[in-house]
Structures are given as structure tokens and as C-alpha cells.
Amino acid sequence: MSTQVEAPVEAPKRKRGRETALDMVRSLGLVILVIVPVWLLARAPSSDEAEIRVVDPAQAVEAFSRDAPGVPVPGELPAGWRATSATYEGPGRLRVGWVTPDGEYAEYSTGTGAALDELVGQAQGLEPLVVDGVSWDRHRDADGSLSLSRSYGGVTVVVGTLRATADQAELEVLLRSLREG
């Protein structure tokens, strides 16, 4: 009796380039399993509109008006202007911001002393702008933001500020809304 053990026969390896359609489907499935979750997580929100939180600036404006009589404050604005911030920080300090109908940001801010530098930065002075017979100093910062300022006694009113993105026409709408405080 002879016992011969036969060596296992290995299946011949497929040569590169002879993959089957099933191999391609498997590879594509792995790629999809990686790409789809990344795509879903990295998508931008459909709109920023849902994130805009509207506030009522009336209380802050009234408090400022009591402490700074004679300084004009924002009044009624046309439809589409949404107040998004209103902060009264004590005598001479009021800040109210809006999202305009065009989706830009406009701001009304006041301050005393060195407030102008704080609100308009190192902006370049431009020729004054006259709106409804009132002259406003114009300033344009290096990033292009436009600010309009005017002093009322010891309080400086700035419409626009460094953070604003509204254009001159929108700032003029805001200026026209100002009423005696």
C-alpha cells in the first residue's frame, strides 16, 4: 500500500485586467459607502433665513431716548427690514442692527468720546452726504464698508459701522427713519 499525498492544487490567480463586472460593482459600492455620508454631512444649509432671530428694539430705543434727549433714534422702517439685535449699554450707548430686504446688514450705533474710531475704524473720510437737509460725514473702510456719522452734542451717531454690509441707498433708508429721541 502506498500512500501518496497529493499536493493541494491552487486556483490560478487572475491576471490584472481580467476583473469581472461583480468586482466592479463591489468597488463602486465601497466608494458609495464613503462618499454619500461625507456628501450628506458636508452640505450647506438650504438657507440662512431660518437662522435669523428677529428682536424688538423698542425697549432699548426708549431707554436710550430717556438718557440722551435730542439724539435721533431709529423709527419705523419699510417692510422687509428685520431687527436682529438691540443693545442699550447705558448713557450714550445704543446699538441696533437689521437685516435689510436685500439680505445685507445695517447698523445704527451711538457712542461718546472716542466712539467714532471704535465704530468706523481707520476708515477713509469721504465727502459729506446730505439726506433730507442733514449733512452726514461719510467713511469707507478698507474692506469697502460704508459708515455715515454725525455728532449731537457729546453723542456720535453712526449708521453703517465696521460690521455693516449695507450699501449707501439702504443706509439712506435708515437715516430717513430717524426721529427725534
Domains of the chain are: 52-177 (3.40.1000)
What's the pLDDT band for 11 if we cut at 50, 70, 90? low
User: Is the per-residue pLDDT at 74 higher than 70?
Assistant: yes
| Confidence (pLDDT) at 49 | 56
Using H for helix, E for strand and C for coil, what is the string for the chain? CCCCCCCCCCCCCCCCCCCCHHHHHHHHHHHHHHHHHHHHHHCCCCCCHHHCCCCCCHHHHHHHHHHCCCCCECCCCCCCCEEEEEEECCCCCEEEEEECCCCCEEEEEEEECCHHHHHHCCCEEEEEEEECCEEEEEEECCCCCEEEEEEECCEEEEECCCCCCCCHHHHHHHHHHCECC
Q: Could you tell me which residue, 117 or 65, shows the higher pLDDT?
A: 65
79-93 average pLDDT score: 90
User: What value does the mean pLDDT take over residues 138-151?
Assistant: 86
More confident residue, 15 or 108: 108
pLDDT of residue 92: 81
pLDDT at 40: 82
Average pLDDT, stretch 57-75? 93
